[in-house]
Structure 1
């Protein structure tokens, strides 16, 4: 048996029992592994459904251009379907999304425009607004609008819900889903509640999103909105696909808990899942006191871990955000292992001769250059030598005339591995701001001293 094209392989994803990561939960917990879809995410289901419904209604015409604001996964589903069906794709996304997601969309021939995260949805720079503008300006184009297009929910009502019901033989008691557009929990949840009204729908939300408070109070509170790191869940507006009457409760999960749990899923269950799966399991563990032994919980694992290699699966990324504390040496511990020393700098208005004298007197081989107290460049022995060989009379010139790019800045939590990798022929040191706001310099000697000490 074979399939006529890749779109026919969407759906019928496996349900896998979780064991180690849920050992403290007094219930059976099953993960719906949506990474087996061709685009490695659950969004393939609704992307194809939105396209098919738009074709039927005449909104999407042959040779048309699909334009959508996406965090990456919906774009992937749309891009795959567009390849098979002969459409062009333009996607807008936010600078919060991982580089892997953007590169993956480009791999399917899509054009990707990256927009700022920290702006209101109505702001003309937002990825929602930019996609709407492009749709108006591009002939024969169609915007799926996954947030308000109810074909999104219908896809999960027709596919995901029935699959879960059949795979659990109707024994499911709880469905746990990270809520972004709302299509999965609302569509699958509607089907499941029609089969058994006692099934509970738990939506996982994130801090910085409006969902939980709106569900509990009916108030859209803009004070709840602020930037967050967790990808794929939460919103700063109310998508039409989120059926608040259907969802029984929302549980918020911190960025840190979601990120660390994402890694734990891989290490304890051997399942390489994305950030929203980590958030969903972290939220489920927070709600475990609501569960009984005979309960059967299904958790949606939305997408694949490969989309987050530079983020949740990167130790330095976690350390820089204070999410990972381990025994590895960091910039902070390097500074702690050496005696307190005041960093020597030179103002950009000083002369080359003064730089030579300062470095000679203090027996140092490099010196950061400042302008109004801010580090804007550096002078090294090599810079001085090259400048003097080229023009011996340059001694009276301002030091800024021979300066090169500043030493790179690192965070206090940056690992010694990353710091040593940054020190090379171009950069003989790195700079770090300590807990008091003072700029410190870390050299290769400091690293050797910290390791040997």
Structure 2
């Protein structure tokens, strides 16, 4: 009965998984993502309570179904759920504390989900791009279309040029915040060829009591962008 609830608190997957990892690490509680959600929400609610208030939180799940998910550092990083501490590198180079925003990336070209594979291929060839983000009409990131993925789909006859590009979406790509340090980014590039740069945007809807957080695409960054930035600054000096 939803009418007996005094207040609803919405949480994001990132804070839920970070909290679940913290409960495992600091408290020895082998809990899952839903438990992380409950505690993250309780921590927010507790801020509005008196200092002597007692808070009871139910932990509804275990870690059993998450062994290959949020327990993995690599999985957390690839899902853009990792906090800076997880991917921070000990780097004394001058550029390590700069951020992705300092690279001055251009806003990327994007395509809609109804654009055909043939049209996307023409765009990639004409503009000499290796990948393009696919966004829906609301700006939500659906995935990426890459030269490699398109080639694989066409050669194996799993897709035709008249099919919508969503049939050849690549989902296993990295998203990084625009304020990530370049030191941390350089560590990610040891195993990734590119990353989609995003910024969080809060938006209220007519019915929502709390803002909805969405990710806005700011650019695409690759190792060569980092190398060019370092080389240009050092050459200027």
**Which TM-score band (shorter chain)?**
0.5 to 0.7
Taking structure 1 as the reference length, the TM-score comes to 0.31
Q: CA RMSD in A?
A: 3.8
Aligned partner of 2:225 in structure 1 is: 446
Query: How far 1:408 sits from its partner (Å)?
Result: 2.9
Structure whose CA Rg is larger: 1
Distance in 1, Cα, partners of 2:194 & 2:96: 25
Distance in 2, Cα, partners of 1:99 & 1:428: 27
Question: Could you say if the C-alpha distance between residues 419 and 95 of structure 1 is closer, same or farther in structure 2, counting changes exceeding 3 Å?
Answer: closer
Aligned partner of 1:357 in structure 2 is: 122
Distance in 1, Cα, partners of 2:18 & 2:51: 20
Aligned partner of 1:117 in structure 2 is: 40
Aligned partner of 1:429 in structure 2 is: 195
Residue of 85, 90, 98 corresponding to 1:329: 98
The equivalences for 1:8-407 within 5 A come to 97=19, 99-106=21-28, 111-112=30-31, 113-114=35-36, 115-119=38-42, 209=47, 225=48, 236-239=49-52, 316=88, 328-335=97-104, 341-372=106-137, 373-391=139-157, 394-405=160-171, 407=173
Question: Could you say if the C-alpha distance between residues 428 and 119 of structure 1 is closer, same or farther in structure 2, counting changes exceeding 3 Å?
Answer: same
In structure 1, runs of 5+ residues without a counterpart are: 1-93, 127-207, 210-224, 226-235, 242-309, 318-325
User: Matched residue of 2:180: which SS?
Assistant: coil
Question: Could you say if the C-alpha distance between residues 329 and 407 of structure 1 is closer, same or farther in structure 2, counting changes exceeding 3 Å?
Answer: same
Question: Could you say if the C-alpha distance between residues 315 and 380 of structure 1 is closer, same or farther in structure 2, counting changes exceeding 3 Å?
Answer: closer
Distance in 2, Cα, partners of 1:425 & 1:311: 18
Query: How far 1:311 sits from its partner (Å)?
Result: 6.9
Structure with the bigger RCO (C-alpha within 8 Å, sep 6+) is 2
Query: How far 1:451 sits from its partner (Å)?
Result: 1.5
- 8 Å Cα contact 2:176/2:195 also seen in 1: no
Could you give the per-residue CA deviations for residues 385-423 of structure 1, whole angstroms, max 9, x where no partner exists? 101110186111111001111643322221113223334
Could you give the per-residue CA deviations for residues 21-44 of structure 1, whole angstroms, max 9, x where no partner exists? xxxxxxxxxxxxxxxxxxxxxxxx
Aligned partner of 2:181 in structure 1 is: 415
Number of aligned residue pairs: give it: 166
Distance in 1, Cα, partners of 2:225 & 2:199: 16
- 8 Å Cα contact 2:103/2:225 also seen in 1: yes
Question: Could you say if the C-alpha distance between residues 381 and 400 of structure 1 is closer, same or farther in structure 2, counting changes exceeding 3 Å?
Answer: same
Distance in 2, Cα, partners of 1:438 & 1:96: 23
- 8 Å Cα contact 1:95/1:117 also seen in 2: no
